[in-house]
A and B are shown apart, each in its own frame.
Chain A
Amino acid sequence: MRVLFWTDWFVPSIGGVEVFSARLLPALARRGHEIVVVAGHHRSGLPDATTLEGVKILRFPFHQVLAARHVDRMGAILEQIASLKRELAPDLVHLNTLGPSVLYHLETVRACEAPVLLTMHSPVMPDATRADTLYGRALRTATWVNCNSQAVRAELCRLLPELSDRSSVTYYGMEPPALTPAPRARHEPRVLVFGRLVPEKGFDIAIHAFAVVAASIPGARLVVVGEGPERQALERLAATLGLSSIVEFVGPVPPSAVPRLVNTVSVVAVPSRWDEPFGLVALEAALMARPVVAARVGGLPEVVEDGRTGLLVEREDAHALAEALVCLLRDPAAADRMGVVARARASALFGWDRCVNEYERLYERSALARV
């Protein structure tokens, strides 16, 4: 099958969706599918054309031209895209993100009338119901909409009931790391939060919670991994709370180093304040047999089973987060058991081969469908 994979952002920018896509597409290419990625030029200095393990990647300055409101340059890009679509004649267009670049797709649909699969990796925005938005237009005109959790699909169907019979859920998948899970440290335990340092991730809530944790568990440390615009504010918060010596800011780590990182901690926290659509971090922790304390938001309760693979707490509740962390750190045997169950459950429900198989079937089903 020939697939035009459309995305606003792609590696080397790092986000859960980007890393997942960069693993999925080569896997599909190895199964004989021809994948061409059309992506935004989100960083300067990237080549216009490159390949990633057999997948061709073409980048266009979508966002820059839209932000500059430059109609002539936009016209030139639209002509390039229309020409690309005609030449490639894909069996399927897969919209992997619903960002600004979707305008270029929608305005070139006449060049290629292939069915459109739209994947929702993020919480559904209220604009979905409006007739005068790109966001709503893309959803209404998609042949099939795929969501990364039941929570995202439920919200989608609540806002747009007409999508109930042309939408589905495909969970992310991840290969169990080659690294064997290390025993969890009993003394001076480390708690990990990692991801982009943005307000939505709620790392400030974890720092507030750690003021309580540190008072209860001598030697406990909070390890913050990732980069982003909130870093300075988070460092200031830790200093203000007198926690600079026990909150460690590591900076970013490559995706391949995550298992090794998780192996060094006792518990992973996912204190997101937004409706985290899935929670890849929770899955990465589970695969390394770590219990997770997560906010009860979005799709996280589908990844973290409360009381069996971790503990769920209410959104924005630093006190509840602290209590849950203390509970696990004080009862290492229970935390160990949760980690073991988490790893087994993650392997069974969120396996990599299952994910690639499901995407392949999704592509086949979408390519045959018509709105």
Chain B
Amino acid sequence: MDQLPGTLDVNRDDVAAKIIDGEAIIIRLSDGTYYSMDHVGASVWSLLEAHGDRAATGRTIAAWYRVPPERVQEDVDALVRELFAEGLVVAAPARAVSGGGPVTPSHVGPYASPRLNIHRDMGNLLALDPPTPGIDDLLLKTDTDEPR
């Protein structure tokens, strides 16, 4: 996409996401591709999810991490372009901040350009041949079996 939209939203029909310990975990539900982003990327995701304003996201990240806004905006745009290409965000009309209260940084450490880790092989890994299950009389001896 040459021209990035000014406002965006998470592709809520096809995406499940969660910020955990400052990292974003994102699942594209239609095909089970897993994504993750470190703390700066997770902050960008939170802001896009909350208000979707691309320029405001860049300004907020620059303020949180005390980095020149121009550099941050380039990074944010590069990340948004990738999120678009993956179908994780879509163009959306401007909207008010959603959710309860202002967005806070997920984790503020040293600034690093946000990176989208893509894991397209989850289906392959889940299909890996597991060992033979269900052979109860082959159980190796265990000392204790604590209740679940």
Contacts and interface: CB of A to CB of B under 8 A. Distances in A.
Contacts of B135: 12, 14, 227, 252
A66 B126 contact: yes
B132 A226 contact: yes
B131 A18 contact: yes
Interface residues of A, number: 64
Nearest to B29: A69
Nearest to B23: A107
B122 A103 contact: yes
Contacts of B145: 47, 50
A110 B146 CA distance: 30
Interface string B57-87: 0000000000000000000000000000000
A189 interface: no
B142 interface: yes
Interface in A1-48: 8-9, 11-15, 17-19, 22, 42-43, 47-48
Nearest to B31: A69
B1 interface: no
Contacts of B120: 130, 132-133
Contacts of A135: 121, 124-125
B140 A75 contact: no
Interface in B21-40: 21-23, 25-27, 29, 32, 34, 36
Contacts of B129: 196, 198, 200
Give the interface residue-count category, chain B. Answer: 35 or more
A71 interface: yes
A99 B25 contact: no
Contacts of A107: 20, 23, 25, 36
B9 to A, nearest CB: 17
Contact of B125 (A15, A17, A100, A197): A100
A49 interface: yes
Given A66-B126, A71-B16, A134-B121, A42 B23 contact: no
Interface stretch (A51-59, A159-167, A210-218, A295-303): A51-59
A252 to B, nearest CB: 5
Given A14-B135, A48-B146, A66-B126, A134 B32 contact: no
A320 interface: no
Interface in B82-107: none
A15 B126 contact: no
Contact of B118 (A17, A127, A132): A132
Contacts of A75: 18, 20, 25
Question: Which of B25, B129, B131, B145 is most buried by chain A, counting CB atoms within 10 A of its CB?
Answer: B131
Contacts of B141: 52-53
A71 B17 contact: yes
A242 to B, nearest CB: 28
Contact of A50 (B23, B117, B146): B146
A52 B142 contact: yes
A227 B132 contact: yes
B25 A51 contact: no
B144 interface: yes
B147 interface: yes
Contacts of A22: 140
A255 B124 CA distance: 29
Nearest to B131: A15
Given A13-B131, A14-B132, A43-B133, 11 more contacts: A9-B130, A15-B130, A107-B25, A111-B21, A132-B119, A133-B121, A134-B125, A137-B117, A137-B119, A228-B132, A255-B138
30 contacts: A8-B128, A8-B130, A9-B130, A11-B140, A12-B136, A13-B130, A14-B131, A14-B132, A17-B131, A18-B131, A22-B140, A42-B131, A42-B133, A47-B145, A47-B146, A48-B146, A48-B148, A54-B143, A70-B16, A100-B122, A100-B125, A100-B126, A102-B125, A103-B122, A106-B36, A111-B21, A132-B121, A134-B125, A226-B132, A227-B135
Closest 7 CB pairs of A and B: A15-B131, A71-B16, A133-B121, A132-B118, A13-B131, A100-B125, A12-B139
